[in-house]
Structure 1
Amino acid sequence: MSTPLKINKPLVSVEWLHENKSASNLVILDATLPKVGQQQSASNKIEGIENAFFFDIKNIFSDTTAPFPNTAVTPDVFEREVRKLGINHDDAIVIYDQHGVYSSPRAWWLFKAMGFENVAVLNGGLPEWKKPGYASEALLVYNGALGNFKSSYKPSALYDYKKVLEVLSDSNKLILDARSSDRFKGTSPEPREGLRSGHIPNSKNLPFTELIDDGKLLSQTELIQKFDNLIDKESEILFSCGSGITACILALGAEVAGYKNLAVYDGSWTEWGSLHQLPIELN
């Protein structure tokens, strides 16, 4: 019987995962979301890392009745659906996606928002896993016993627009927008129809693509440089993007860089840009 795995870092390498793949409490989740313009594949048809299960952000772990996409589900729903994947409170979870590092940080952040810390993102995802020839297979469909996972929700992890309004003029809190600079400045139209262009007042722009190189997150040293140029480590950072997905890439990068006071604006620009009573800035 192998020793239960304890993950003490937010990002792990494919070599680390391969070395620890036999741990008794390891759960591997595929949290792939299609990028804009792509179609979602049937989960049981996707090639994934061996022994991985599909973590369906779009249809299961987002509130499909909410007015904005990718809205986090309630803690009760999250707990129920995670238990259906057989996940227990003492498991160690590694999450990846098929793009490299794209949607897996969203699943990682949801687990952290629900009070679960023994979780990490696989740097480089499935493409990086396949480079050394590590085994892949069709994703498994879990049909075993329910797990005993317990949600312990942290409200400070996920903001709504009302909480964002409260911090607009707080100099100890930085709002970082993960969208492209053209969208941030309002010089390119939003991909979602009906959204205003621009950004949240007093926010700064750090496109998520600046933290990714060839599908992998930058090194800790490079990430420290990115964030230390913007804010000191004692301040709180609130991350926003288009719909709450790529903001979590910034959150992952900031945690790797050593920042602790982090939050994600769940509705992000899809919500902010839709609500005409909320202030915006251009350029």
Structure 2
Amino acid sequence: MTKTSPETDPTAKPRIALLGLGAMGSALARTWLAAGYPLTVWNRSPSRAEPLAAEGADVAATAAEAVASARLVVTCLLNDASVGEALEGADLSGRDLVDVTTGTPAEARARAEWARERGARFLSGGIMAGPPMVGVPEAGGYVLYSGGAEVFEEHRTALAVPVGARYVGGDAGLGPLQDVALLSAMNGMFAGMEHAFALVRNEDVSLKEFAKLLSDWLVAMAPVAAPDMAAQVETGDYTANTDSNLAMQIEGNRALMRTAREQGVGTELLALYGDLMERQLAGDAAPVAAGSR
């Protein structure tokens, strides 16, 4: 039987070549297969591809073979260096390379030029979702894409199958930059949550009930604080939209640090932020937005 393709059947879904079958890559693969997309997969460890073969994926013996099978090539690998290694020797001419590997803005810009020199169009993506969120629209996951607008528009439908697809600009580094910025904020939040639990864990406090308080507090504060902080950064006026000026925030942070010491908890997180605030107040540091409480 002759396989259909967009060239022979305009209604056929285009084949996708996916390189990288870790937890995220496998989740992407399964959503494309479930949506009826013909899929060729490759992974450095072939055993990772076996379950997907049972679900209908074609397994390529080499990355170059996978690339040759499809115009749309998606890389979801460990890091930028692994992308270069996997595609070494592959013919990228006429291909659309979509790289959703976590990396830096500079790496994405260099990879875009690298792809252009090899005859490929390029799109970088920062995945704002964990593997369990892939294929679950109500989970709210998405990918921030940047680079060739024409590449995004042509493949928008396919790219939006696993999670939402958001285009953020023609500079290939913009998607990874915002991805890393959001992940950095998340890591800061996680660190703060760990600190909060450490403060109360040895007291007569239900951690389950405290977790609900903590979650509700962060959810309530974020929508208020983020827009105000954005306005402060944009205008350079760090006294606007705040009920607590920087001096008050510094004094408050000192109380937080004293409490941490009383509870036998490290003060590293608070000390770093406190130092930045004190340096800004003295005019020696980059701006730190004042609290919006």
Q: How does the TM-score come out when normalised to structure 2?
A: 0.26
Give the number of the structure whose residues are more often strand, by fraction.
1
Give the number of the structure whose residues are more often helix, by fraction.
2
Q: How does the TM-score come out when normalised to structure 1?
A: 0.26
Greater C-alpha radius of gyration: 2
